């Protein structure tokens, strides 16, 4: 495998399928544009899937989990033991994303990239053991080059498994105590913007905790900035195993031609990093929601993204994306099953 595989060309959405889907939308028994964003979704999915009538029934949800050394700086309201405990919860079926995946009939894959506390092998979890979480980026790089490459590859491998299973839509989710700190640090570098206004409570910090978290990020950015010559180096120095895995999955999806529904703040930061590594991957990314974390709206704006939902979510796990799936399914059903004016013998608007 080429070390810089993510720079390989991305697939190009099917223009013919897009045009056919757009023409069909104009023939359906409704005023043009009356279904708003749902019309554009159906047309976009048609282009990404290369067929006039798209479908979103074969779903793959991958949850990437990893711990963060920066938690040692007191940036989280929860202990790192929660990451491993949630892995148990995911495969036992008790987590929010587990419930949503069951309801949607989606394949749910859980990938442990590296937890801070020792974890016994769990049935239903892929254990990759990239390290006992990342290193504390307040002191030095979060990971070495080899770990960063393996994390990217873990995301790519997940996408390839999904593609082999015939997936029509891929969702990446994340779990990792401390990962809003890593994601916010990445946003500040990627968008060259100050920490103030972007840092949020994560799993539930109070105002003093948020201020401390901002100070930790500011100091880390000052420490690492001279070494952050590329998006890859920014990811390696400031990111987390699960964030890099999401980046790898998004890039591979664009290269393989698999539509992606991006979840919340952490996943959107990974999407922004993926676009910086390979701009052509942007075409393959749909965005599920705008969450409660302060930096999320800023990231979506930078990606020129129109989220489907705004429900004040900040859970992660891919849960917001899973909640948005029915909208995509209904957009496809309307597009595929509504009658045309000719089929229904309904008069069209005079031209």
Helix, strand and coil content of the chain, in percent to the nearest 5, comes to: 50, 10, 40
Does residue 349 surpass a pLDDT of 80? no
pTM, to two decimals: 0.97
CA distances in angstroms from 125 to 103, 108, 120, listed in the order given: 20, 10, 10
Q: How many CB atoms lie within 10 A of CB 138?
A: 19
Q: How many CB atoms lie within 10 A of CB 144?
A: 13
pLDDT of residue 345: 87
Closest CA to 68 of 82, 51, 54: 82
Across the chain, the runs of DSSP E, i.e. the strands, are 59-66, 107-114, 125-127, 169-175, 260-262, 285-287
Average pLDDT of the segment spanning 311-327: 96
* pLDDT bucket at 291, cuts 50 / 70 / 90: very high
What's the token pair of residue 10? 């991305």
User: Which stretches within the chain are classed as H helix?
Assistant: 15-27, 37-49, 81-92, 96-104, 145-164, 179-190, 207-224, 231-238, 241-256, 265-277, 294-302, 319-337, 341-344
Closest CA to 114 of 240, 202, 263: 240
Which domains can be identified in the chain, with CATH numbers?
59-327 (3.40.50.10210)
Contact assessment for residue 269 and residue 186, using Cβ atoms and an 8 Å cutoff:
yes
Average pLDDT of the segment spanning 69-89: 94
* pLDDT bucket at 344, cuts 50 / 70 / 90: confident
pLDDT of residue 210: 85
- Identify the top-confidence range among 70-79, 106-115, 204-213, 336-345: 106-115
Average pLDDT of the segment spanning 109-121: 95
pLDDT of residue 351: 63
Considering Cα of 187, then 191, then 194, then 200, what sign does the dihedral take? negative
Average pLDDT of the segment spanning 74-100: 95
According to DSSP, residue 340 is labeled: B
The predicted-structure confidence for 43-71, as pLDDT tens digits, reads as follows 999 999 999 999 999 999 999 999 999 99
Closest CA to 261 of 272, 252, 250: 250
Q: Considering the candidates 52, 317, 343, 348, report the single residue annotated as catalytic.
A: 317
* pLDDT bucket at 198, cuts 50 / 70 / 90: confident
Is 317 assigned a catalytic role? Answer: yes
Does residue 350 surpass a pLDDT of 80? no
pLDDT of residue 1: 58
Longest dimension (CA), the chain: 71
* pLDDT bucket at 347, cuts 50 / 70 / 90: confident
Phi, psi of 114, rounded to the nearest 5 degrees: 155, 115
Give 83's contacts (C-beta < 8 A, 6+ positions apart): 65, 66, 67, 115, 116, 133, 175, 176, 177
Give the least confident one: 157-161, 302-306, 341-345. Answer: 341-345
Closest CA to 336 of 12, 20, 16: 20
What's the token pair of residue 138? 């307040």
Closest CA to 181 of 226, 150, 136: 136
CA distances in angstroms from 11 to 259, 327, 343, listed in the order given: 11, 25, 35
> What SS3 class is residue 28?
strand
């Amino acid at each position: 495998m080429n070390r810089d595989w993510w720079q390989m060309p991305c697939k190009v959405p099917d223009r013919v399928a897009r045009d056919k889907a757009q023409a069909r939308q104009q023939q359906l028994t409704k005023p043009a544009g009356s279904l708003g964003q749902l019309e554009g979704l159906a047309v976009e999915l048609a282009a990404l899937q290369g067929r006039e009538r798209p479908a979103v029934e074969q779903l793959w949800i991958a949850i990437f989990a990893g711990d963060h050394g920066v938690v040692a700086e007191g940036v989280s309201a929860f202990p790192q033991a929660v990451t491993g405990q949630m892995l148990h919860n995911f495969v036992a079926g008790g987590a929010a994303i587990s419930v949503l995946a069951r309801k949607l009939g989606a394949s749910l894959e859980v990938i442990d990239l590296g937890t801070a506390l020792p974890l016994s092998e769990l049935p239903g979890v892929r254990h990759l053991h990239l390290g006992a979480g990342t290193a504390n980026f307040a002191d030095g790089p979060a990971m070495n080059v080899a770990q960063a490459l393996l994390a990217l590859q873990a995301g790519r491998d997940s996408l390839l498994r999904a593609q082999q299973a015939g997936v029509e839509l891929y969702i990446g989710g994340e779990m990792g105590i401390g990962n809003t700190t890593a994601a916010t640090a990445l946003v500040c570098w990627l968008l060259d913007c100050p920490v103030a206004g972007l840092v949020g409570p994560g799993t539930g910090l109070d105002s003093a905790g948020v201020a401390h978290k901002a100070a930790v990020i500011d100091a880390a950015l000052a420490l690492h900035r001279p070494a952050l010559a590329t998006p890859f180096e920014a990811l390696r120095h400031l990111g987390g195993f699960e964030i890099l895995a999401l980046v790898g999955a998004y890039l591979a999806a664009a290269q393989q031609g698999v539509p992606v529904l991006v979840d919340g703040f952490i996943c959107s930061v990974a999407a922004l990093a993926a676009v910086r590594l390979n701009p052509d991957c942007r075409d393959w990314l749909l965005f599920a929601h705008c969450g409660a974390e302060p930096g999320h709206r800023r990231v979506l704006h930078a990606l020129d993204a129109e989220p489907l939902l705004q429900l004040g979510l900040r859970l992660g796990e891919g849960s917001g994306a899973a909640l948005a799936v029915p909208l995509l399914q209904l957009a496809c059903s309307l597009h595929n099953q509504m009658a045309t004016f000719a089929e229904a013998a309904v008069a069209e608007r005079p031209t």
